[in-house]
C-alpha cells in the first residue's frame, strides 16, 4: 500500500494513532467541517443507530491546495476536498455519509458532476435517481473502489459514500465552486434505496427500487483518471482535463459512454 502522501500527491500523513490526517504547514485549507452521528439521524432507522449522537462520524476538509497550485484551481473554478470516515457502525449499517444531490446551474438539464479518489481503505459510492412523492428509486448502482481508484459522479444523481472497510477510509474529490449539496431528498426517504451492513438490503421506506447494479471502479485514461496518477496532480499535469467539472453541459463530451448508461440521457430525473 502506498503511503498517504504518495497516494494523494500532497504532503499529508497519519497521526501516531492512525485516526487523524496531519497536514503539512504549506497546505492551505479553506474550511474544516464535521458531521456527528446525530446529524445522520435522518438517514438511519432509529435513534439508537446514531448513539452517541455527539460523536464525530466523519470530517470534511474543503479547499485544500499548495500555494503554487492555487491559481490553477481558481482558473478552473474548482476545489480539492478530503473526507475522512471513521469505521464505527451506525447501528447495523456500515459508516456512511449523509448523502445529497448537487444543485443545478441557472440553465441546463444537467447538474455539476464530480470525481473522487480513494486514498485509504475501501469505499462504496452509491448513486440513484429519486422520486420522493412516489417513494421510488427507478435507477440505482454502486461502485466499489480501493486505494488509487477514481470514480466519476455523473450528473443528476443522488449519492452517498459507505466505508466498506473495518478501518479508516479517506477519499478526495474535485468539485465546482458553483455547486452545493441538497440533502433534502435522501433525508426525507431515510437514506438510500439500499443500505449496506455486511451486504446489501433494501430500505423499507421505499415502495419501489430498481435492482442495485454493482460495478468495480474503471479508469478513464483519456482524461487522465488512472490509478497510477494521484487526482490532485492533474492540477499541474493536465488542468484542461478537469474543465468538465465546472461545465455541466460538457459532461457527455468527456464521458460519452458513462452518460449513455444514464437512463435520463440528459433529462431531469
Query: Could you read off the pLDDT of 168-216 as tens digits, one per residue?
Result: 999 999 999 999 999 999 999 999 999 999 999 999 999 999 999 999 9
Contact 103, 111 (CB under 8 A): yes
Residue 213 CA, chain-centre distance (Å), reads: 18
Rounded CA-CA distance 181/142 in Å is 19
pLDDT bracket for residue 267 (50, 70, 90) = low
Sign of the torsion angle spanned by Cα atoms 50, 54, 57, 59: positive
Rg, Å, the chain Cα set: 18
Q: Which residues pair with 128 in a beta bridge?
A: 140, 158
For the domain with range 4-260, which CATH number is right: 3.30.365.10, 3.40.50.1100, 2.60.120.10, 3.40.640.10? Answer: 2.60.120.10
- Asked whether residue 155 carries a pLDDT value surpassing 50, the answer given is yes
pLDDT above 80 for 268? no
Tell me what pLDDT residue 265 has: 57
pLDDT score of 1 more than 80? no
Amino acid at each position: 500500500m502506498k503511503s498517504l502522501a504518495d497516494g494523494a500527491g500532497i504532503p499529508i500523513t497519519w497521526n501516531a494513532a492512525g485516526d487523524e490526517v496531519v497536514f503539512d504547514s504549506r497546505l492551505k485549507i479553506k474550511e474544516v467541517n464535521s458531521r456527528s452521528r446525530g446529524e445522520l439521524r435522518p438517514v438511519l432507522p432509529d435513534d439508537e443507530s446514531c448513539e452517541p449522537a455527539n460523536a464525530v462520524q466523519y470530517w470534511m476538509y474543503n479547499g485544500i491546495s499548495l500555494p503554487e497550485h492555487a491559481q490553477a484551481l481558481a482558473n478552473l473554478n474548482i476545489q480539492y476536498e478530503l473526507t475522512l470516515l471513521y469505521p464505527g457502525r451506525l447501528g447495523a449499517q456500515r459508516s456512511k455519509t449523509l448523502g445529497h444531490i448537487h444543485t443545478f446551474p441557472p440553465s441546463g438539464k444537467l447538474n455539476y458532476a464530480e470525481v473522487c479518489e480513494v486514498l485509504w481503505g475501501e469505499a462504496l459510492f452509491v448513486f440513484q435517481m429519486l422520486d420522493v412523492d412516489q417513494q421510488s428509486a427507478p435507477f440505482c448502482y454502486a461502485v466499489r473502489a480501493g486505494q488509487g481508484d477514481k470514480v466519476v459522479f455523473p450528473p443528476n444523481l443522488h449519492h452517498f459514500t459507505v466505508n466498506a472497510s473495518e478501518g479508516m477510509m479517506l477519499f478526495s474529490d474535485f468539485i465546482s465552486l458553483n455547486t452545493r449539496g441538497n440533502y433534502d431528498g435522501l433525508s426525507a426517504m431515510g437514506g438510500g434505496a439500499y443500505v449496506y451492513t455486511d451486504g446489501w438490503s433494501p430500505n423499507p421506506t421505499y415502495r419501489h427500487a430498481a435492482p442495485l447494479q454493482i460495478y468495480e471502479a474503471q479508469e478513464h485514461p483519456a482524461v487522465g483518471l488512472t490509478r497510477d496518477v494521484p487526482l490532485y496532480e492533474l492540477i499541474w499535469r493536465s488542468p484542461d482535463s478537469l474543465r468538465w467539472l465546472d461545465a455541466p453541459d460538457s459532461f457527455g463530451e468527456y464521458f460519452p459512454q458513462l452518460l449513455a448508461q444514464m437512463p435520463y440521457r440528459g433529462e431531469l430525473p
